[in-house]
Structure 1
Amino acid sequence: MKKIAFLLTLFISYACFSFGQGVYLKASSNYNFSASTQQMPEYFTYRVNLPGGSAINGYNINLSVNEFSLSSGLNFQGAVGYSFNDFLSFEIKFSTFGNSKKEFEASPELTYAANGKTEWKLQNYSLLPTLIFDQTFNKSTVSILVYSGIGFSTLKIKASFNEDFREYEFDRSNTFSWGYGLEYNYSFSKQFSLFTNIGINNTNYTPEKAGLISSSNSLEYLTTSRKEIQYVDEITNLELWYNGSSDPDNPEIRLKETIKLNSVFWGVGIKYELKK
């Protein structure tokens, strides 16, 4: 992230001092609407102990959701750009997206497991170089924008069943985003204009590690395999204990799964053109 901030600062400084006549700044607020759903990733197994007859038995809690998506939410963007001419511009956007804690009830119900619920909080930060093709009509400009870029995402998942709960925090993983859209800009002075845009955004998030950060049970007495999870492309040479369980002194090993953040966005913003 420090490298991204340094590159962004360098670009702004270079643009302002070298190309002041064609440099502009933009700020916008967008809302992303989910464009697709997927099967909820199974990032961990949720098992609880429940009384049954004269004994305490362990049960797997069903958290599965068939139509799962985290791609709807608010998206705030800031950009610095340079207009080469009346037809072509280039921007570097800084984008932040958050889904504001989405809750899911397990669905469909299963006959062999009780149903629980999950709460997901995802944050994404991206730097998006954007190419813009402009067509101006008097005070109005219609633009086609195409972008791709890199960033990172963070994720927390809280699973609960009755009074039992546990919350996992996932590692900060790199993401790649791309998209395209249309923008309409109306100038109401020499330097200020308002714009609205609509388009498609695609971002994938694939975590590699997760750790248990809170639980209804004391973390002090839990084994490493119940507190840490490592996600891999392929499971090979997995060492199991005599009863078929994972080594309690090492992180649990699971296959990687990807969250697909495919959305349609609509937003409004303001543009300020710098003048020497």
Structure 2
Amino acid sequence: MEILVIALIPLSLLLLGAGFLVVAQVSGFMQSVFFNSRQNFSNMVIQQYMERITLAQGQLYQRKQELEGMSVKLSLSNQELGRLNDMKSKFLSMVVHDVRTPLASIRGFSELLMNKNVGEREGRYLKNIVSSTDQLGRLIADLTDLAMIEAGKLKMEKAVFDFPDMAKDILPGLSINAQKKGVELVAHEFPEGVTVDGDKFRLSQVFMNLVNNAIKFTPAGKRVEVSFRREGKYMHTLVKDSGIGIHPSETKRIFEKFYQAK
């Protein structure tokens, strides 16, 4: 019996070793299959990414070509716009120069006739001619300023002047415009002794345009109010009308050229 047990021990060890060998081979085969499958999957993913990158590069090159073409067209358009803008500025300067001289002659001859003994109706006609030439003169002055601004040649001539006196000189003419339209122009009390260091002519233009614009958009029978308020070193000019007003969404556009609120 002891001899049989001793003989079975090596046989058991031999079978156990054979089992371990089989298990190792099977495990190695499974690992090999898993590794190959994983490598094939990785290769497939990489190939897909490469295809996408190639497609993206092709699209990027196409967009680049389109952008270059658009840049060329835009450059040509800007050059054409610059040329047309120069032509417009030159034409504007010529028109202003050619119109100003005959306009001054019309006004001068009208004033000469007004100083003679003319009838009431003729005198009224002459006053209308002078008033119309003054309006055209202001329009020409605005056109001149526009041409000078676009040419970069507009200069400010600063000087100390009495602000209430400037407003008092302008308001009578504005009152006539308001009366013709049936609008009441009310100017509240002026603060006295207010001097301003600035360009009197340009500031008077701004003041006149503000009030005229208020009169223009105020219905007949309504009123336009002009008031002044002094705060420290600042002088505030307030113009209130009964017109259509400006919607808050459009306030950022009011300084655009030729823009008009709807």
Q: Provide TM-score, normalisation by structure 1.
A: 0.17
Which structure carries more helix by proportion? Answer: 2
Q: Provide TM-score, normalisation by structure 2.
A: 0.18
Rg larger in 1 or in 2? Answer: 2
